[in-house]
Amino acid sequence: MDVMDWFDPTSWTHTGIVALAAVLAAAIVHRIAAVVLRRATGHVPVLRTVFEACVPVVRVLLPLIALQVVWQAASDDLRHIGTVRHVNGLAAIAGTCWLLIAAIGGLADGVIAKHPADVEDNLTARRIATQARVLSRTAMTAVVMAGLAMMLMTFPGARQVGASLLASAGVVGIVAGIAARPVFSNMIAGLQIALAQPFRIDDVLIIEGEWGRVEEITGTYVVLKIWDERRLIIPLQWFIEHPFQNWTRTSSEILGTVFIYADYALPLDPLREELKRVLDGAPEWDQRVSVLQLTEATDRTIQIRVLVSARSSGLAFDLRCRVREALVTFIQREYPDCLPQVRVPGGAAAGALLQQK
């Protein structure tokens, strides 16, 4: 190899040496900037989270930008230089999109971490987490679509296809609109859910008869964790078009109901005393509501309704089970004759007749 090739701008040897120097310079700049920015963002948790999410991406993106500068400055007489410029340009666009996605994700994670949800009153934290997740997913989708469009526009053939599509926009526009309707409807529904917030992450919903908590909200669907560990996947658009129950819309506090059926002979005052004793020892009870009422009387039994309160729907379910079990056990032990029973017309006479037979 001729040493003069090292200084010839029209040779790949010279261009390769300059490219290697540019990559080394980019690595040095990245290392210095990372140290400086890590110290500068140390006292701002949200910025620190964004910075940490972007560091590995910038480590790849800076050399790509440096190489693109070298390729653009290189002589047009270099063999395959046009292809190298194009490929490096596509990689730089992809890296930029990756950086934006990482920054958006880091910002969302930083905002969520600033408002932890592992506290008793986490309504505000869940609201912020829902908005951050949905808006970040929507922004990421928009970045990906914009990046793909920019990459396609670098191909001359794609520009020609775009011109052809614009020329026949009448039919193609209708077909594309119909095909893209689910995508755009889910994106719009995601924005509506993020802003209006009919439900949030960790809210308790009743959908199609299923009880569960909102585990995840993506850009297109919601994951509902059912009480028995199943997952129900619901498109975002479904929530805009159908009614559903939200048990924790404004507060996680909820009332629980227990129904007990007994005979007319059962006295209610001892049962109320037993309910008070059970609730005083129940950690699930929040001491807001404790009511025992006779709500129905049929020709055979009475219906007793017990109304209790808890801090969350999960605790309310456990409290209902505890109260139901305790009251039924109390009736079995203290008033076994007051359990539901069927009376035979004729009473004692009919019983004596059956014994004779």
- Tens of pLDDT, residue by residue over 13-42, are 777 888 888 889 988 988 888 888 888 887
**CA–CA dist 180, 157 (Å, integer):** 23
- Which residues touch 256 (CB under 8 Å, ≥6 apart)? 307, 308, 309, 310, 316, 317, 319, 320
CB 14 within 8 A of CB 5: yes
The confidence score (pLDDT) of residue 267 equals 92
Which residues are 206's β-sheet partners? Answer: 211, 245
pLDDT tens digits along 173-187? 444 455 455 556 666
Q: Is the pLDDT of residue 288 over 60?
A: yes
In this prediction the pTM is: 0.54
Residue 304 or 42, more confident: 304
Question: Angle 268-280/313-334 helices, nearest 10 degrees?
Answer: 130
φ and ψ at residue 298, rounded to 5 degrees: -100, -170
What residue has token string 């006292």? 43
What's the pLDDT score for residue 181?
56
pLDDT for position 280:
92
pLDDT of 227 > 50? The answer is yes
| Residue 357 pLDDT > 60 | no
Percent of the chain with pLDDT over 90: 21
| Nearest CA-CA partner of 49 in 141, 121, 147, 136 | 136
| 92-109 per-position pLDDT tens digit | 999 999 999 999 998 888
pLDDT at 347 over 60: no
- Residues 295-305 have a mean pLDDT of 90
152 pLDDT above the threshold of 90: no
Q: Is the pLDDT of residue 198 over 80?
A: yes
Which residue would you say has higher pLDDT here, 73 or 262? 262
The predicted structure's pLDDT at residue 1: 45
Burial of 351 from C-beta contacts in 10 A (0-12 / 13-18 / 19+): exposed
The mean pLDDT value for 142-146 works out to: 84
In 3D space, the residue among 240, 246, 242 whose CA is nearest the CA of residue 224 turns out to be: 246
The residue with greater pLDDT, 11 or 26, is: 26
Whether residue 343 has pLDDT greater than 70? no
Task: Kindly report the backbone phi and psi dihedral angles of residue 212, in degrees, each rounded to the nearest multiple of 5, phi listed first.
Answer: -165, 175
Which amino acid belongs to residue 75? S
C-alpha–C-alpha distance, residues 232 and 270, integer Å: 44
Looking at residue 122, its pLDDT comes to 65
Mean pLDDT of 196-225: 84
Confidence band for 266, pLDDT divided at 50, 70 and 90: very high
The better pLDDT of the pair 324, 129 is held by 324
Q: Which residues contact 107 (CB under 8 A, 6 or more apart)?
A: 46, 49, 50, 132, 136
Q: Report d(CA 43, CA 26) in Å as an integer.
A: 27
pLDDT band at 327 (very low <50, low <70, confident <90, very high): very high
Mean pLDDT of 276-304: 91
CB contact burial 83-120 (16+ within 10 A = b; e otherwise): ebbeebbbbbbbbbbbbbbbbbbbbbbbbbeeeeeeee
Among 145-149, 205-209, 228-232, 332-336, the range scoring the smallest mean pLDDT is 145-149
| Per-residue pLDDT tens over the stretch 100-141 | 999 999 888 888 888 776 666 666 777 788 778 878 888 888
pLDDT at res. 311 = 84
SS3 state of residue 152: helix
User: In terms of Cα–Cα distance, which of 236, 255, 246, 237 is closest to 203?
Assistant: 246
Q: Which residue has the higher pLDDT, 72 or 163?
A: 72
Q: What is the pLDDT of residue 170?
A: 46
Q: How far apart are CA 250 and CA 247, in angstroms?
A: 8
Q: Region 336-353: what's the mean pLDDT? A: 64
Helices (H), 168-284: 169-196, 236-241, 268-280
Q: Give the distance from CA 42 to its chain's centroid.
A: 28
Q: Which residue has the higher pLDDT, 161 or 309?
A: 309
pLDDT at 340 over 60: yes
Q: Which of 52, 9, 53, 55 is nearest to 29 (CA)?
A: 55
Q: For all residues of the chain together, what is the average pLDDT? A: 80
